[in-house]
């Protein structure tokens, strides 16, 4: 965080300083995990049903915290506030305009975290960059990431999530972007939103928050995203495979590791690109990263050098690895919705070729009325693509198998298992060298399976 006095912080968060020198300076980051506090930092204590952060204040001070933000005074300089979550948002709102950094924002129903990681790698070529680890994209993770930036930060890459209309608008009021990208409008959290149109309304809040000097990067291949162009004051740049996209991919091919190669076309010319990340759907994500880099001054030649070097950073996202027994695993288990699961199934089909393919798929949450058709559509796609075995894991995942079995000419097999332990036992006795296994599901619902595959099951 930029250096601030306790008096500055107390004013920013609308709190009262108790037991400290107002001129004491905080020079380190803000943390709500006492184990991560570093000397000069600030500890924020959140109350909880099972754990009260105030009880960890002494440990935070011992590790070097200058002060604590909390609901009540502790045995350390304390800025007392009514709501610590609101306070961290207020502090980030105070800090963001004082940074000498360009803020880049990303939203979409799927692919936010991966695209954020790709963008961060591109802009890091130009200067010190801060981006959240994993999916810190809500009312806590967003301001926490902003507060990691300091006087040297030149680029701040943030992802903006939403479960309700207005959520992204709130995050933008904390720290709004100068460059914003909308990836797609799918059915993630549709149980909360009620319709895809409502999801589009929520995602559009990101480009509506842009200044007239900003840039909106829109996916030309998604009609709902393309339709957001009139809703922003900023310049609009279309990316995708559509013929009219300003930054586009042409002649896309995919190798046996699921890595795409294509011709990158921009207004300045074109260059060949061969990606090092797996999944054809990464083409669109990389185009967004290229568009951001281009806006910030990278040349076509520089992009042609940088893009093939991009790698996946966050865990459980299209992590492809080979086991010692010759089985290839695609761990895409972090989270799932119909669009992202369909993309992963397509990647499995691209990578397996004539090898035996397994799709180990778990329940997709928060789909509301779309739950059954959403699951069935993925199962149907798996069968149409020729996946050999579909394993539906746990309660609620059965419609995945139902969808596959409705494909009349499918030569594969669908298996329903009660839980992850049963899936692991099935795989342990059935995998053979050369098999390719995709593991995916909503949060934690297939993590044990992925971990067991990584550890070699019981073999």
413-426 per-position pLDDT tens digit: 999 999 999 999 99
Report the DSSP beta bridge partners of residue 216.
Answer: 180, 236
Q: What is the pLDDT of residue 257?
A: 93
Task: Please give the pLDDT value at position 458.
Answer: 52
- 457 pLDDT band, cuts 50/70/90, is low
Strands (E), 220-353: 235-240, 247-254, 259-266, 269-278, 319-322, 328-331
pTM exceeds 0.85 for this model: yes
- Residue spans of beta strands (DSSP E) within 37-85: 42-44, 67-70, 78-80
pLDDT at 383 over 50: yes
Q: What is the CA radius of gyration of the chain?
A: 23
Give residue 193's pLDDT: 87
Q: Which two tokens stand for residue 256?
A: 């046996």
Predicted local confidence at residue 459, as pLDDT? 42
CA dist 217 and 134 (Å) reads 22
Q: How confident is the model at residue 135 (pLDDT cuts 50, 70, 90)?
A: confident
For residue 457, give the H/E element and its range.
none
What is the rounded CA–CA span in Å between residue 424 and residue 426? 5
Lowest mean pLDDT among 45-54, 155-164, 210-219, 421-430: 45-54
d(CA 307, CA 305): 6
Tell me the C-alpha distance between 389 and 430, whole Å.
Answer: 11
């Amino acid at each position: 965080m930029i250096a601030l006095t306790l008096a500055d912080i107390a004013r920013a968060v609308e709190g009262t300083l108790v037991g400290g020198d107002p001129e004491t300076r905080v020079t380190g980051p803000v943390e709500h995990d006492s184990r991560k506090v570093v000397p000069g930092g600030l500890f924020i204590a959140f109350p909880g049903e099972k754990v009260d952060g105030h009880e960890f204040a002494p440990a935070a001070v011992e590790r070097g915290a200058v002060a604590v933000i909390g609901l009540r005074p502790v045995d350390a300089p304390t800025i007392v506030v009514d709501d610590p979550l609101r306070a961290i948002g207020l502090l980030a709102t105070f800090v963001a305009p004082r940074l000498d950094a360009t803020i880049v924002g990303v939203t979409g129903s799927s692919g936010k975290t991966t695209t954020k990681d790709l963008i961060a790698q591109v802009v890091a070529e130009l200067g010190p960059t801060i981006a959240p680890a994993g999916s810190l994209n809500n009312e806590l993770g967003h301001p926490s990431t902003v507060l990691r930036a300091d006087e040297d930060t030149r680029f701040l890459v943030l992802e903006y999530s939403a479960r309700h209309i207005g959520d992204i608008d709130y995050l933008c009021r904390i720290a709004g972007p100068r460059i914003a990208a909308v990836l797609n409008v799918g059915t993630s959290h549709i149980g909360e939103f009620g319709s895809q149109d409502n999801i589009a309304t929520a995602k559009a809040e990101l480009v509506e928050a842009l200044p007239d000097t900003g840039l909106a990067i829109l996916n030309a291949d998604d009609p709902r995203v393309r339709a957001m162009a009139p809703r922003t004051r900023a310049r609009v740049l279309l990316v995708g495979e559509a013929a009219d996209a300003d930054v586009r991919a042409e002649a896309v091919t995919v190798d046996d590791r699921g890595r795409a190669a294509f011709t990158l076309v921009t207004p300045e010319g074109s260059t060949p690109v061969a990606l090092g990340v797996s999944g054809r759907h990464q083409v669109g994500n990389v185009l967004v990263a290229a568009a951001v880099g281009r806006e910030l001054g990278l040349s076509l030649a520089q992009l042609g050098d940088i893009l093939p070097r991009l790698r996946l950073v966050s865990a459980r996202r299209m992590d492809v690895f080979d086991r010692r027994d010759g089985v290839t695993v695609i761990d895409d288990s972090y989270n799932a919705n119909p669009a992202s699961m369909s993309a992963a199934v397509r990647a499995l089909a691209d990578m397996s070729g004539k090898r035996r393919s397994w799709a180990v798929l778990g329940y997709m949450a928060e789909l509301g009325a779309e739950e059954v058709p959403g699951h069935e559509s993925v199962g149907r796609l798996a069968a149409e693509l020729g996946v050999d075995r579909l394993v539906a894991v746990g309660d609620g995942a059965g419609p995945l198998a139902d969808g596959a079995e409705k494909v009349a000419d499918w030569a594969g097999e669908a298996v329903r298992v009660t839980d992850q332990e049963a899936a692991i036992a099935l795989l342990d006795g059935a995998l053979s060298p050369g098999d390719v296994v995709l593991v995916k599901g909503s949060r934690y619902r297939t993590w044990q399976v992925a971990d067991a595959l990584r550890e070699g099951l019981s073999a």
